[in-house]
Structure 1
Amino acid sequence: MPEPTPPLPVVIDTDPGVDDAIALLLALGSSALRVAGVTTVAGNAGIEQVTANATAVLDLAGAPADLPVAMGAAGPLAGGPRVPDEPVHGPGALGGVVLPPGTRLVAGTPATGGHGPDGRADGTAAVDLIARVARTHPGELVLLALGPLTNVARLLERDPEAAGMLAGVVHMGGAAFAPGNVTPAAEFNTYCDPEATRVVLTSGLPVRLVPLDVTRRHGVRECRVHDATAVVALLDPERFCWRRHPVDVECVGELTRGALVTDVYGRTGRPATVELALDLDPDPVRHRLLAVLEDAR
């Protein structure tokens, strides 16, 4: 994946979430990034809640009123129920903080279309938004994926041409060699939709994966900032140690569903298109994270 040339166009696919909110503030406050769209996906809470949270945070941050926002998938790629809300984020998924309701028009809501016959958001609006921005910025757009990869997998399935126009994907997800945080083997975003994660990580798209191996090493205490660490990895990739490996996801295992499988020795013979962040320089990463938290006070 090419190094960013400021201002780098990005679409943020997110499921706010406390750490997603911090990540949005960090991305929107950076002169090195131009946020060209925001899409939502069910994860830390249901799709309606995370979409409401996203618009509220965008308003809080003073994001441009014409910034496109689209509601994405309400459940996993293979269907069935979604993983229950991540309790660590508390009521409303923002740690109990109640923000004024967002005032933005969101594509894909019942009012604007985009729900399937079962009444659930089908993710079409999110896919359409990502595809449109990718065609506007061919070879330049980075998709910053901070939640389950359902929308990204649907983009690959529905519009592979647009997906091929992405400069790459930066995703907070997985646990390469670290323990999981929702099961002993699996990280939350990957566990929410392992089938979608498999589609994306084995697609050949350039992916930079920011797993739990590094998102716990920044030294920020009392606040989980996994997703914000992925934004720092996009802004300051030189602060991270990257290793390129073939990566897959376990989708069946009784004890290991959602586990990331990293082919360190190349035994599968698959191309190594995924760059894994396996270490970081904690001081500058921590300072970057703390700066956005101070600004948000």
Structure 2
Amino acid sequence: MSRIPLIIDCDPGVDDAVALFLAFAAPDALDLLAITTVAGNVSADQTARNARILRQIAGREDVPVYAGAQGPLVREPVEAGHFHGETGLGDLALFEPGEPVAPGHAAQAIVRLVMARPAGAVTLAVIGPMTNVALAMALEPAIVPRLGRIVAMGGARREGGNVTASSEYNIHADPHAAGKVIGSGVPVVLLGLDATHQVRATQARIAAIRALATPPALAIAQLLDFSVRVEKVLVGWDAPPVHDPCTIAYLLAPELFVTRPARVGIETASPLTLGHTAVEFRLEDLSAATVHWATEIDHEGVFALLLRRLAP
């Protein structure tokens, strides 16, 4: 299997961290061109630092980290430290990373990396607000037909929202950017709450990850322990959903996922439903759909994949 040239755009974040560790652990399948970071779960400075900390824990300093947008395109910033901790990485012990961020803005890096490769070659995994990607498309519209696809965590339909009654955090944090990206015509796979709520960090699954005893596995177990405590207090769940790693799992094992062609619109005008994803499956021509919406995930398969990849 040839490796997928991949850029991960993220705002680490507890579940972003798990996604990054999974990607770092798959060098045979993923050609990680860059990690680009954006303000989201915590500030832009913190997300750039967190990505470099996670990179160092995984021993993958070969992957450059580019810092990006300091805030959304239009709306005021909406952070999620109450779910991810003040630092964004729960109660994980932080340190000053040994390697700095790479020079240049994340949006510029996305443009450069996409334009340097053949059309259709580069995949984007987007697991935070879509600000950097929207900025890159505005900076160089020619990347739109050159991108292979975008696999993104974002949105909600039947599950309702996790920020408001109808909006999921990644879309809600920058709905204007999401509207530009999803409406661009680039092939998009959207893994929203309808699917990611099926993937839960049970105590047994966390214990199995901890038992691997590698630095990334121990970090993941600690992060998920934090998520269990927070979700229990804020939401009442015993086993929190693990959203962002689903994007990397999709790239590594798409057979674990069921998706449907859809038309997806993003609400940007209504204060009440800002960031709502209007998902319409009733299409005249299914083959013309550029968005595929995930409806089901083999959650056992996702955790088996995670354990297999993290194993020493």
Q: Secondary structure at the match of 2:146?
A: coil
Residue 112 of structure 2: aligned partner: 132
User: Cα offset for 1:293?
Assistant: 6.6
**Contact residue 219 and residue 286 of structure 1 kept, 8 A:** no
1:22 partnered with 2:18: yes
Equivalent residue runs for 1:7-18 within 5 Å: 7-18=3-14
TM-score, structure 2 as length reference: 0.82
Code of the residue aligned with 2:242 in structure 1: it is V
What are structure 2's unaligned runs of at least 5 residues? 203-238
Q: Distance in 1 between matches of 2:197 and 2:111?
A: 32
TM-score, structure 1 as length reference: 0.86
Return the match for 1:157 from 134, 138, 144: 138
Residue 233 of structure 1: aligned partner: 250
Residue 211 of structure 1: aligned partner: 192
User: Cα offset for 1:157?
Assistant: 1.1
**Contact residue 181 and residue 188 of structure 1 kept, 8 A:** yes
User: Cα offset for 1:267?
Assistant: 8.1
**Contact residue 129 and residue 171 of structure 2 kept, 8 A:** yes
**After superposition, what is the alpha-carbon deviation per residue over 1:189-247, rounded to whole angstroms, capped at 9, x for unaligned?**
00000011110111101111111111111243245420011111111111111101111
User: Cα offset for 1:292?
Assistant: 5.5
**Contact residue 199 and residue 241 of structure 2 kept, 8 A:** no
1:61 partnered with 2:41: no
The two structures, once aligned, show a CA RMSD in angstroms of 2.1
Residue 211 of structure 2: aligned partner: none
**Contact residue 155 and residue 163 of structure 1 kept, 8 A:** no
1:176 partnered with 2:157: yes
Return the match for 2:34 from 37, 41, 53: 37
Q: Distance in 2 between matches of 1:293 and 1:223?
A: 20
Q: Distance in 1 between matches of 2:307 and 2:276?
A: 30
Q: Distance in 1 between matches of 2:79 and 2:298?
A: 34
Aligned residue pairs total: 274
Q: Distance in 1 between matches of 2:250 and 2:277?
A: 20
User: Cα offset for 1:86?
Assistant: 3.5
Q: Distance in 1 between matches of 2:310 and 2:129?
A: 24
Return the match for 2:172 from 165, 168, 191: 191
Bigger drift between 258-267 and 37-46 goes to 258-267
What are structure 1's unaligned runs of at least 5 residues? 115-124
**Contact residue 38 and residue 128 of structure 2 kept, 8 A:** yes
User: Cα offset for 1:140?
Assistant: 1.1
Q: Secondary structure at the match of 1:9?
A: strand
Q: Distance in 1 between matches of 2:283 and 2:82?
A: 37
